[in-house]
Amino acid sequence: MPDSPAVAPQFTSASHRDETAELGMWVFIATEVLLFGGLLLAYFVYRHAYPQGFVTGSRHTEIVIGTANTAILLTSSFLVAWAVEIFSAETRRLTAGLLTGAICLGLAFILLKGIEYHREYDEHLVPGIDFRFTGSLANGVQLFFIFYFIATAIHALHMIIGIGLLAVLALLCRAAPSTRRRAALHSVALYWHFVDIVWIFLFALIYLPGRSAS
Amino acid sequence: MTEPNYLTADYTLRSWFFTTDHKRIAILYFASLTMFFFIGGAAATAMRIELATPQADLVSDDIYNRLFTMHGIIMVWFFLIPSIPNTLGNFIVPLMIGARDLAFPRLNLMSWYIFMLGGSVTLFAILAGGIDTGWTFYTPFATLYSNSYVMVAAAGVFIAGFSSILTGLNFIVTIHRLRAPGLTWYRLPLFLWSLYATSVILVLATPVLAITLVLIAVERFFGVGFFDPRIGGDPLLFQHLFWFYSHPAVYIMILPGMGVINELVSCFSRKQVFGYKFVAWASLAIAALGFLVWGHHMFVTGQSLLASLVFSFMSFVVAVPSAIKVFNWTATLHKGSLRFDAPMLYALAFIGLFTIGGLTGLFLACLAFDVHATDTYFVVAHFHYIMVGGMVTAYFGGLHYWWPKITGRLYSEYWARAAAILIFLGFNLTFFPQFVLGAEGMPRRYHVYPPEFQVWNVLSSGGATILAAAYLLPLFYLGYSVFFGARAPANPWDAPGLEWQTSSPPPEHNFDVQPVVTRAPYQYSRKFEAKPQNA
């Protein structure tokens, strides 16, 4: 696979450039960890304060869709990892195909998320827009759903950005494979896996509380 | 005709606004920050004029709220946080490490555009009518009650946060990956250690502010949210999240200043920085410990006594690395061959003012005293000694020190010294009386006060006049030097750092030959024969 001809003057070689780019992505992921960290802190504070409310809220979530989405996202991460592993000039079609598969799964995730939001709207569980839940647990349930919507919306935004990046890379890798593209693919894959890991945390925190009791 | 430098390489607007040269981006930041500094300063001036008399005579209480909010937001996010990193840091970091540019030059330019977008949105909020929450956006006032442009201002700060993150990311990666051959970590000038520590905080703390502002926006927009006490939400959670960012942000604002002081003190004492490794690791220690002290802003909020005790203890601990630095600078001065050029005057002012600011910070870390002093002018005086006495002084010191390198011109030493001395005097006259006012119980953020406080307020307002005039002076003599100043030699201070081994101003590509570093930094000698870091 050809090195791209010109290396920006601050780098000594193509590999120097590519390793630097990857470090940049790791630092960016560190930023993202703290972004979601602030949100998770709020979750734990209120789950501690309103344990019953959070369990009740959790049991109103769509666990089938949530579980399906977890499987979808893990599969897409697998496809991306596969694409990174095999990417070379000879396998560029397969690489693009794998990335397209990951993109489709990502879109399926967003679609299912939309259906899930719609069902919650029908059940009057959207704080600030239409929230009707009475009883002593109403506050805890409402705080739970505030977390649910903010966290999943921010996660979905990350997914959409990731899908866009994967789409660009699928086109680029297919058109002109190079070591530089491989480095870019590597960095975007890191980002995609990170978004995946965030979802695994969200899945456990949103869908699972209280499920084992009955 | 000599070969063109980075300033003369191209004259088109396009070559400035689409540049990826770190030196030109530093100039873009410098121009923008100067504008924001004077906007924020204008708000402070209006406040000090109002406070000259006990009654309200210039502005109403509502306008006063908007003035101090505007002053805080502009100064914190649009001047202090980007000040040294984005101007001097952008310019000097690649030169100091012998690199052609930062690791991600386009990201660097994008960061400036994001910064300007955030700044414009915030300025719009101010022009549209302002914000009355204070720079801290405390809930539930900011989310449920305030009838001002909270959303717009929060959006501006949120956007500017991305600029901070990208700058921090760029510096971390650059310092890791782009050092010249032979430039090991312990050969890095200490300015780079402190910028590295700053960048770690920028990258790890700013996202927490971002998510907190998102939570504020959601709550304001939908009328229901995490901090809403009506549904059992906890407004104090906001304060925890906010200070988890904003206390480390204090170190974002002071660490780069400390870094500059290392360069100045060693250069104008003609000596190595005493205890290099301690100073280097003190920067990282401050960055790490700074994340564990936020609760000292909340001693009177009713948080548990145990939490308060731990935060109080940690606040004492974080003072240790700062004290190490002050002692080491003093030891560097000891038996040095001192020169009192303008940058050195700023450095000496920094050491004194930072010490006062730091020691009064320890007062405030004491639970009992803090309960007495919370939300009084004692706190205002304390953090202005750090932010203005410390950071702004270091900014001016660094600006004068590197001015010949940046512009290729020499400024008037006479006027520069005069300005440094005036700033020092004006600053102390402005803020020292505020310690007294605070100790006597005058609360902050009020535009009227009992007549017995007037003497100290008049002193403070008088000092502010001197300070404002002194801050305007550099605008004239530095501006004059750009056009009429004598040409600067490559190394006017006889300093050993790599940035002084290339011409002034540097060529677009920084170095004609890739420097290879063979020495530790700060190899000064008394006879003006400093040994450059490269062979």
Query: Where residue B524 falls among pLDDT bands split at 50, 70, 90?
Result: very high
Whether B215 and A150 lie within 8 Å, measured CB to CB: yes
Please give the pLDDT value at position B534.
86
- CA B428/CA B455 separation, integer angstroms: 15
Query: B369: buried, middle or exposed (CB in 10 Å: 19+, 13-18, 0-12)?
Result: middle
Largest CA distance in chain B: 73
Q: How far is CA B133 from the centre of its chain?
A: 22
Q: What's the pTM value of the predicted model, to 2 decimals?
A: 0.95
User: Closest partner residue to A129 among B177, B210, B222, by Cβ?
Assistant: B222
Query: Where residue B193 falls among pLDDT bands split at 50, 70, 90?
Result: very high
Please give the mean pLDDT across all residues of chain B. Answer: 95
Lowest pLDDT segment from A175-184, B41-50, B195-204: A175-184
Using an 8 Å CB-CB cutoff, list chain A residues near B204. 30-31, 34
Instruction: Specify the DSSP element, H or E, that contains B212.
Output: helix B190-222
What is the bridge-based pairing of β-strands A130-131 and A125-126? antiparallel
Name the β-bridge partners of B376.
B443
Please give the pLDDT value at position B217.
94
Query: Where residue A214 falls among pLDDT bands split at 50, 70, 90?
Result: low
With a cut of 70, say whether residue B332 has pLDDT above it. yes
Pick the closest to residue A11 from B107, B514, B512, B26 (CA basis).
B514
| pLDDT tens readout for residues B410-469 | 999 999 999 999 999 999 999 999 999 999 999 999 999 999 999 999 999 999 999 999
| pLDDT tens readout for residues B472-483 | 999 999 999 999
- CA A13/CA B436 separation, integer angstroms: 60
- CA B47/CA B63 separation, integer angstroms: 10
Percent of chain B whose predicted confidence (pLDDT) is above 90: 94
Q: Give B45's contacts (C-beta < 8 A, 6+ positions apart).
A: B464, B468
Within 13 A of B388's CA, how many CA atoms are on the CB side? 27
User: Closest partner residue to B231 among A37, A45, A139, by Cβ?
Assistant: A139
Please give the pLDDT value at position B114.
98
Pick the closest to residue B366 from B350, B351, B355, B382 (CA basis).
B382
Which one of 1.20.210.10, 3.30.1330.10, 3.30.360.10, 3.40.190.10 gives the CATH number of domain B13-501? 1.20.210.10
Say if CB B93 and CB B86 are below 8 A apart: no
SS (H, E, C) chain A: CCCCCCCCCCCCCHHHHHHHHHHHHHHHHHHHHHHHHHHHHHHHHHHHHCHHHHHHHHHCCCHHHHHHHHHHHHHHHHHHHHHHHHCCCCCHHHHHHHHHHHHHHHHHHHHHHHHHHHHHHHCCEECCCEECCCCCCHHHHHHHHHHHHHHHHHHHHHHHHHHHHHHHHHHHHHHCCCHHHHHHHHHHHHHHHHHHHHHHHHHHHHHCCCCCCC
Tokens 């390489």 sit on residue = B9
Residues B411-429 as b or e (16 or more Cβ within 10 Å = b): bbeebbbbbbebbbebbbb
**A vs B: CB pairs below 8 A:** 108
With a cut of 60, say whether residue B291 has pLDDT above it. yes
Please give the mean pLDDT across all residues of chain A. Answer: 93
Please give the pLDDT value at position B368.
92
Using an 8 Å CB-CB cutoff, list chain A residues near B100. 9-10
More confident residue, A92 or B325: B325
End-to-end CA distance of chain B: 28
Q: Which amino acid is at B185?
A: W
Please give the pLDDT value at position A89.
85
Say if CB B95 and CB B498 are below 8 A apart: yes
CATH number of A14-207: 1.20.120.80
Lowest pLDDT segment from A10-19, B150-159, B319-328: A10-19
Tokens 């480095």 sit on residue = A183
| pLDDT tens readout for residues A126-171 | 998 888 988 889 999 999 999 999 999 999 999 999 999 999 999 9
Please give the pLDDT value at position A47.
96
State the nearest Cα–Cα gap between A182 and chain B, in angstroms: 18
Mutation for A interface: B101, B107, B173, B202, most A CBs within 10 A: B173
| pLDDT tens readout for residues A106-128 | 999 999 999 999 999 999 999 98
Using an 8 Å CB-CB cutoff, list chain A residues near B168. 27
Whether A142 and B224 lie within 8 Å, measured CB to CB: yes
- CA B142/CA B147 separation, integer angstroms: 9
Domain boundaries along the sequence of chain A: 14-207
Mutation for B interface: A141, A146, A152, A157, most B CBs within 10 A: A146
Pick the closest to residue A202 from A56, A63, A79, A29 (CA basis).
A63
Tokens representing residue A99 in the block: 């990335």
Using an 8 Å CB-CB cutoff, list chain B residues near A45. 234, 237
Average pLDDT over residues B141-168: 94
Percent of chain B whose predicted confidence (pLDDT) is above 70: 100
* Chain B residue whose CA is closest to A49: B232
The number of beta carbons lying within 10 Å of the beta carbon of residue A34 is 20
Question: Phi and psi of A209, rounded to 5°?
Answer: -55, 135
Please give the pLDDT value at position B125.
95
Angle in degrees, 0-180, between the axes of helices B105-128 and B61-75, rounded to the nearest 10: 180
Domain boundaries along the sequence of chain B: 13-501
Query: Where residue B347 falls among pLDDT bands split at 50, 70, 90?
Result: very high
Average pLDDT over residues B281-290: 97
State the nearest Cα–Cα gap between B430 and chain A, in angstroms: 38
- CA A194/CA B343 separation, integer angstroms: 46
Q: Which amino acid is at B91?
A: F
Q: What's the sign of the alpha-carbon dihedral A166, A171, A15, B280?
A: negative
With a cut of 60, say whether residue A3 has pLDDT above it. no
With a cut of 60, say whether residue B159 has pLDDT above it. yes
Please give the pLDDT value at position A176.
84
Question: Phi and psi of B533, rounded to 5°?
Answer: -65, -30
Please give the pLDDT value at position B89.
97
Q: Where are the alpha helices (DSSP H) in B18-104?
A: 22-50, 61-75, 83-84, 90-96
Pick the closest to residue B93 from B186, B195, B199, B167 (CA basis).
B195
